[in-house]
Chains A and B, each alone.
Chain A
Amino acid sequence: MPEMEAVKPLLAQFKDERANLIPILQEIQAAFSYLPEEALRRVARKLHVPVTDVYQVATFYRCFSLKPRGRHLVQVCLGTACHVRGGDLVLERTQTETGAGLSGTSPDLEFTVEPVRCLGCCGLAPVMRVDRDTFAHLDQAKVRGIVNRYHPRRKPATVDKIAASPEKVRS
């Protein structure tokens, strides 16, 4: 498996200590955008722990995914501040606009949409994060413009028109 070549140097950065399990998995997740099964086996061997232990940790924490994620990770905030300002509706709209639906990842593997519990920008609710960029004061109309910005085959311009019109919602 060629991609496992990339795991080697990654593992080499860490000492063989159990406490490094989560940091190692975080590195693998960042590199591959998911945790390939073979990588988990290698981690288990390196740290001298049973594979089941590695699986247990990999499935307990939300930042790990055992399935490949889309090219862009869209995190829509469902924290309380965002909820009372319609964050749930923004999430639903994002799921439709990206095509990710309820399964989480769009069939074209462009987007993975996940609800998150608070991004710490509650003062600008509702918010979402795409990869490293955070977007504030969202409403349903703005979602399409943002999604199209990251989509390789859609023109953001066509949508900005819609997104720009309802200035009144930016309360």
Chain B
Amino acid sequence: MISTAHRLVNLEDLHQAMRQGRDLLYPSEPKIMIGTATCGLAADAEEVLHAVREEVANSKLPYQVTETGCIGWCSQEPLLDICIPGRPRVTYGRMKPGRAREIVRAIPEVKREWALAMMPGDENTLNGAHVNYCVPHNGHMDGLTAYKDLPLFKRQLRIVLRNCGIINPDNLEEYIARGGYHALWHALRKHTPEEILNEVKRSGLRGRGGAGFPTGVKWQAVRDAQGEPKYVICNADEGDPGAYMDRGVLEGDPHSVLEGMTIGGYAMGAHEGIIYVREEYPLAVMRMKQAIRQAQDAGLLGQSIFDSGFSFEIRVVKGAGAFVCGEETALIRSIEGKVGEPQQRPPYPAQHGLWGKPTCINNVETWANIAVIVQRGGDWFSQIGTAKSKGTKVFSLVGNIENTALIEVPMGTTLAEIVYEIGGGVPNGRACKAVQTGGPSGGCIPADKFDLPVDYDSLNQAGSIMGSGGMIVMDDHTCMVDIAKYFLEFLEDESCGKCFTCRVGTQRLKEIVTRISQGEGKEEDLDLLQDLSWLVREGSLCGLGQTAPNPVLSTLRYFRSEYLAHIRDRRCPAHRCRELITFAIDPVLCNGCGACVQICSGKAILGEKKKPHIITQAQCTKCGACLEMCKFDAVLVH
């Protein structure tokens, strides 16, 4: 039941909650934080959490143990942080339960030799506040680098990710302590809906879901549209493979999305919001539902929020596993309980959306920007970024990269800065070949174009798109023909089948590229690919088909020689296409340890112990497991 005692009605209530939250965020006793977003859990954060809890309980230590979202340092998961009052926060990476116990036992001493970095204070982009942890000490700790001096964080500006890895996402008070729900109070009590709408327009914010449509313009259209009730939808379908920006926000800072949507509802005159989350994100679904309950209990959702007379409700709808449902009209059909087939536009959802009513769909990241825009003003926001792309963008920096990470940088940061400085380049001494942006609708940008600033227009010109923010770095062991084939398989699979050109076109494109990857291609195939691409683009109804040829076209444009090597020389330069490679064992380097024999999936490896082994080609499945297994680099690929 709603306990009126906890209902936040006015600014004083909000300040009260803020004080409670501060005591949790910056307690007077040592605090141990463990990152338990999905990625942390995959790296066994739960065991670390359990070990720390046990250690604290058994030794009756007066410490707080809390969970937090993902700070974005994925390559170092699981992460553990220690905050001792008056001293910098210290981060440890790749935690194991045993080591975590030792770190806890050592408090108040800091195990510097294991630490990754330290954070002397919090910067908060929401209100420009700075909290210094290091009073009365100075913010220095011998031998430890501050976050803001690390290449990974130096260039970052965290607006959307402002709370991720800082607050406990299960805790509403901590969100409020960092300025949360103040923008909502201001919007509802001090501004008219038109004023909020104008602020969003002035910010120049463009949608972060891929296409980059100006958010203020969309909101105006929904506000002006005839028909009641109006709906607000958060697109959390995050279908692009290799992208997890939205998951980071949903799991790490759920209230930022709720606050943005509520402000949007007020500006557009909507009273119901829906968050459509893909079913592959069970933790995000859980966190969002919990945040909604908390907001309801606190009166931040429901009737007459902050006694303003404005009412708003939000609910979660879980997706059912279809990439095309990220497309807005398909998403709406899916909420209505139908198959997710995109519809002809116009009419746009702004006029004719959910249940035929005016509907505003924005991406998670778009919504998470709103509170900051309202709080700091559209002018402040529009100073960040480039002429036509304002603000910041979150990227998931993954693939063959040293620091796999979730990062947020101002628009206009170059690819070189992102890949080499922030990401630390390609590991294992290999060369960087390309970066893939924009998911299946995007393309591959070659390394010699990395001086390109990342904004909507530059990436378009380079034959890719900004997309939702997946950035997959590829080294010289990546075959571009294989990548084109990979995306075509994806698109063939995910095409809903409504348009002939998309359904059959992606299939034919895939067949041609597959043929090339098997060494059976002809040079005329390359022209055929171009022609067919044009047909698929022109003849398809929705963005899936219209952009489906991009991965092929961009690889053809920049890596034509690789296609030709497959066709003319029947050779895969990256040693990836199975039909064109063979495995062998170097008799000099092989010492006959037998590790490869155990793992071989085709039982193709023969040899006596401690004698050089050989591979029987007829039985070799080319799975490459022996190559992975061999510690002596004795497995050769031709």
Contact = CB atoms under 8 A, between A and B. Distances in A.
Nearest to B593: A165
Counting chain B residues whose Cβ lies within 8 A of the other chain, the interface size class is: 35 or more
Given A79-B241, A120-B281, A121-B38, A93 B335 contact: no
Given A57-B339, A63-B321, A169-B628, A122 B243 contact: yes
A43 to B, nearest CB: 11
A122 B629 CA distance: 23
B68 interface: no
A80 B241 contact: yes
B340 interface: yes
Contacts of B631: 166, 168
A102 interface: no
Contact of A79 (B38, B242, B427): B242
A69 to B, nearest CB: 14
Nearest to B624: A89
A140 interface: yes
Given A80-B486, A141-B599, A169-B628, A127 B244 contact: no
Interface in A107-153: 116-125, 127, 132, 134-137, 139-141
B241 A61 contact: no
B241 A62 contact: no
Contacts of B601: 92-93, 96, 140
Contacts of B320: 22, 25-26, 61-64
Interface stretch (B26-34, B226-234, B292-300, B394-402): B394-402
A81 interface: yes
A77 to B, nearest CB: 8
Interface in A54-71: 56-57, 60-64
A28 interface: no
A84 interface: yes
Interface residues of A, number: 54
A134 B42 contact: yes
Interface stretch (B470-478, B512-520, B552-560): B470-478
Contacts of A168: 631
Given A22-B334, A123-B405, A136-B42, A118 B628 contact: no
B623 A89 contact: yes
B218 to A, nearest CB: 24
Contacts of B623: 89, 92-93, 140
A44 interface: no
Nearest to A144: B599
Contact of B628 (A84, A136, A139): A139
A40 interface: no
B337 A118 contact: no
A19 interface: yes
Contacts of A92: 601, 623
**Most A-side CB within 10 Å, residue of B39, B247, B337, B494:** B337
A80 B436 contact: yes
Given A124-B77, A141-B625, A84 B399 contact: yes
B21 interface: no
A120 B595 contact: no
A138 to B, nearest CB: 10
B400 A84 contact: yes
B351 to A, nearest CB: 21
B119 interface: no
B54 interface: no
B244 A121 contact: yes
Nearest to B44: A136
Nearest to A18: B337
A19 B355 CA distance: 10
Contacts of B77: 123-124, 136
A132 B282 contact: yes
A62 B239 CA distance: 13
Contacts of A86: 624, 628
A13 interface: no
Contacts of A82: 241
Nearest to A161: B598
A99 to B, nearest CB: 13
Nearest to B630: A166
A61 B324 CA distance: 10
A155 B340 CA distance: 44
A42 interface: no
**Most A-side CB within 10 Å, residue of B474, B599, B631:** B599
27 contacts: A22-B320, A22-B334, A25-B320, A26-B279, A57-B338, A57-B339, A62-B322, A64-B320, A81-B396, A82-B241, A84-B472, A86-B624, A118-B242, A118-B280, A121-B39, A122-B242, A122-B243, A122-B396, A122-B404, A122-B472, A123-B398, A123-B404, A124-B42, A127-B42, A136-B43, A166-B629, A166-B631
Interface of B: 38-39, 41-43, 74-75, 77, 238-244, 247, 279-282, 317-318, 320-323, 334-340, 396, 398-400, 404-406, 427-428, 436, 439, 470, 472, 474, 478, 483, 486-487, 490, 494, 496, 595, 598-599, 601, 623-625, 628-629, 631
Interface of A: 17-23, 25-26, 56-57, 60-64, 78-86, 89, 92-93, 96, 116-125, 127, 132, 134-137, 139-141, 162, 165-166, 168-169, 171
Given A118-B280, A166-B628, 7 more contacts: A62-B322, A80-B439, A80-B470, A86-B628, A136-B77, A137-B43, A162-B595
